[in-house]
Structure 1
Amino acid sequence: MKIRCIIVDDEPLARKGLKEYIADVSFLELAGEYDSPVKAAEILQQEQVDLMFLDIQMPRMTGIEFLRSLPQPPQVIFTTAYPDYAVESFELNVLDYLVKPISFERFMKAVLKAKNQQKNTTSYFFIKCDNKLEKIAYQDILYAEALQNYVAIHTSSRKFITYLTFKGVEDYLPADQFVKVHKSFIVALDKIDSIEGNELLLGPHHIPISRNLKDEVMEKILNNRYLKR
C-alpha cells in the first residue's frame, strides 16, 4: 500500500532533498510539494493525503499554526532547522520531528513509523462504482481481477467494478495480506482454502496461478506453515 505524501517547505533545497528521499522509498508516493501552507491547504481538502512533511518556520504562517488550523490533518512529520519546537510539536501528536540536515537513516526511521501506523489504523478504503463511493473493508475482499480498463473487486457479498488500473490496486493493497498470483488476479492470503495444481480455491472460485509466479506465490502462501513429514 502506497503512502501518499506532500512536502510543505519554503526552502527549495529542503524540498529537493525530501523529494529524492521519497523517490528512494517504495511505499511512498509524492502527491505534491508546496512552498507555503496556504498552497498546501487546497490539496488536503480535495485529495487523499496520508502523510505531510511540514516545515515549521515559514513566512505568513508557521507549520505549527497550519497544523492547528486543520480539522482533520494527515500524519505529520516536522522537518525543521530548529530543535526548540520539539515539545510543542509532540503535544500536537505529530509522528516525528526531524532536524535539518536530515540523514536518510533518520528519514527512514520516521517513515517506517508512518507505515506501521497506517497498517494498524487502516481497515477499509473507498472506490467509485456506479456513480457512488463504495466502502470496502480489507477483510471482506476475496480477490481482485483485471478487466481491460477496469478492475473487479470480489468480496464475500458482491462484486464491485471500478475504473482503476490493476497496478494501482496492487500497489494499494497491503502486501502482507494480498498476493499477486497471475497478471490478472490478486488474492487475499487468508481466504485461500486449498491449492490444486496451478489453481487456488477460494470457496467456489478457482483462481489460476501463473507459471512464472508460482514459486514466489507458493512461498508467500505457505510461509513456513506447511506441515509435512
Structure 2
Amino acid sequence: MKALKALVVDDEPLARERLSRLLQEAGCDVIGELGDGLSLLRWLKEPRAVDVIFLDIQMPGPNGMEVLAEVSDCPPVVFVTAHATYAVRAFELAAVDYLLKPVFDDRLAKCLQRLQQQLVRRLSPLELKTLLPPPTRFPIRAGDGEVFMELELITHFELENERVWACRGLNRYVTRWNTLAEVEQAFPEDGMIRIQRHLLLRPQMVKGIRPTSVGRIKVMIAPKVELTVSRAMTPRTRDCLRAQNIPI
C-alpha cells in the first residue's frame, strides 16, 4: 500500500507539529505544513502531487472552508477542528472526513483507512459552499444609524449601565441589548461563558491564560488585553478552554 502524501494546514504550531508527527508515524509522507488560509490558497494555485489535505477550519483570515470554496480543483480534504458543529456539517455530505482536536492515533488510523480505500472524494466548489454556515451578524450603533457586526470578530460582551457593549479587544460598540442574557439567547450555540456578572466571554477568542495570586485566572484576548475570571467561574472556564484545545 503506497504512502499517502499529505499537506497539514493549521494556524496552531503545536497542533500542526503533533498532527504531522502522527501522520509520519502512521507511514504518511508529509510534504508540507502551512499556517493560514491565504498560504493554502497560494499553494493550491500550483499543480501539486498530494493525496490529502488535513485542514483546520478556524484560521486567521479566510477559514479552511472559505478557501476551498474558491478553488475549482482541490485534492480530498480531511477537516481538523475543535468545533463539532463544523465537523458534522462536513461529514453529512459523506464526501469528506474530519478529525476533532486533539487528534488521537486510533481515530487518525480510521481516517487513513478511508483515504486508502478512496472513500473520501473531492468536493466541488458548490458542495463546499453548502458547508459554510451563514455569517452571524448583529446591529451596532453608528452615528444616527446602525451597521452590522460579525460575531466572529467579537472577543467578549460587557454590561455597563444597563447597556451591552460588544468588544473587540479594547474597541467597544454599543448594541441594542440591555442584558447579557439577551446576547446568550441570540447566540445559543456560540458557547459563551459568563466569567463575571458583567462579562460574557467568547472562549474561542482566548489567546492564553495566566493565574493570579487569589485563585483566579486572567484570559488574554488580544495583545496586552486581559480579562479577569471570577473565582467561582475559574474551573468552568478552564474546562471550556481545554475543550477548545487551548493549552492551560
TM-score range with shorter-chain normalisation? Answer: 0.3 to 0.5
As a proportion of its length, which structure holds more helix? 1
TM-score by structure 2 length?
A: 0.44
